[in-house]
């Protein structure tokens, strides 16, 4: 019976997941004319495509954060603490799932992506609820799951953006946002404190790599692998250095991980 207190109320998590999924489905159902927000710069026209579904995606991300707060308020171990740290990954998950679904064609592929996205959301809600209490029976499993999901979400977003052939000025902010928040959440989970400077540094390096690779003839999978490698390496380097490991030992695992990701990307070519 004690273990049950570490799991969310089934009605609450069910309502939250279904509401977010309904909002995501509306982005496929609702169709409105698109318009471009344009800004003429010297020798460059900045054009930002906007429509009603863009607003729905932003509102859905806000709905996810609000819903996660509502879900956590029933946790017996919360004890009045601020819930901000537990919003980050659910909101990022909604953003990535929404972005990925926007590039999928209508039909079975879209519904398969929708189902996988719904599973990701459910797992993230469940795991974030569990890690509120470090003494929860499944805490280590939930922590490992959230870490893996963070890297996976960034990989999926990078693949989706590459597949959608977005302009560089649209691609970079999305990757910066995703890399920064994925790194921030992982470091918070691993070190139990905010490491904002490290997260900003990791995001900056990732988008610089992305900018350098943007015009290379890479497939979507190659592009994603070559970006998730630095994200994993730098985030783990931050953890290792904060745990005061010797510099060479701290750099070994990140270097191997980056080499594996980039080697696999070359092999897939």
pLDDT tens-digit map of 4-32:
457 888 899 999 999 999 988 887 777 66
Is pLDDT at 45 greater than 70 in this prediction?
no
Which pLDDT score is estimated for 139? 92
Which position has the higher pLDDT, 264 or 269? 264
Burial class (CB in 10 A: 0-12, 13-18, 19+), 156: buried
* Mean pLDDT confidence for 48-74: 83
* Chain CA centroid to CA 246, Å: 30
In angstroms, how far is the first alpha carbon of the chain from the final one?
52
Q: Are the C-beta atoms of 199 and 183 separated by less than 8 Å? A: yes
Which pLDDT score is estimated for 33? 63
> pLDDT band at residue 1, thresholds of 50, 70 and 90?
very low
Is pLDDT at 47 greater than 80 in this prediction?
no
* Mean pLDDT confidence for 83-109: 89
Q: Is 14 helix (H, G, I), strand (E, B) or coil?
A: helix
> pLDDT band at residue 64, thresholds of 50, 70 and 90?
very high
Q: What residues contact residue 93 under an 8 Å CB cut-off, 6+ apart?
A: 64, 117, 120, 121, 124, 149, 153
SS percent in the chain: helix, strand, coil, step 5:
75, 5, 20
Distances (CA, A) of 44 to 39, 129, 159, 170: 9, 47, 27, 14
Provide the mean pLDDT of the chain: 87
Which position has the higher pLDDT, 148 or 50? 148
Which pLDDT score is estimated for 223? 94
Distance CA 166, CA 44 (A): 16
Which position has the higher pLDDT, 37 or 96? 96
Which pLDDT score is estimated for 112? 92
| E strands present in the chain | 35-41, 44-50
Distances (CA, A) of 245 to 69, 240, 251: 36, 6, 9
């Amino acid at each position: 019976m004690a273990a049950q207190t570490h799991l969310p109320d089934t009605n609450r998590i069910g309502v939250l997941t279904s509401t977010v999924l309904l909002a995501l489905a509306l982005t496929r159902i609702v169709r409105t004319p698109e318009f471009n927000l344009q800004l003429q710069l010297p020798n460059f026209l900045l054009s930002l495509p906007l429509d009603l579904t863009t607003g729905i995606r932003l509102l859905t991300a806000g709905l996810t954060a609000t819903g996660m707060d509502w879900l956590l308020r029933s946790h017996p171990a919360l004890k009045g603490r601020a819930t901000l740290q537990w919003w980050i990954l659910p909101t990022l998950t909604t953003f990535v799932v929404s972005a990925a679904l926007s590039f999928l064609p209508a039909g079975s592929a879209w519904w398969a992506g929708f189902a996988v996205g719904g599973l990701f959301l459910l797992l993230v809600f469940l795991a974030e609820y569990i890690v509120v209490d470090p003494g929860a029976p499944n805490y280590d499993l939930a922590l490992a799951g959230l870490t893996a999901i963070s890297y996976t979400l960034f990989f999926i977003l990078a693949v989706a953006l590459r597949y959608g052939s977005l302009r560089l000025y649209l691609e970079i902010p999305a990757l910066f946002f995703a890399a920064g928040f994925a790194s921030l959440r992982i470091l918070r989970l691993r070190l139990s404190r905010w490491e904002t400077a490290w997260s900003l540094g990791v995001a900056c390096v990732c988008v610089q790599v992305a900018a350098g690779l943007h015009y290379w003839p890479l497939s979507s999978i190659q592009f994603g692998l070559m970006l998730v490698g630095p994200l994993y390496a730098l985030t783990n380097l931050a953890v290792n250095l904060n745990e005061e490991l010797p510099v060479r030992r701290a750099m070994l695992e990140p270097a191997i991980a980056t080499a594996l990701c980039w080697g696999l990307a070359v092999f897939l070519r």
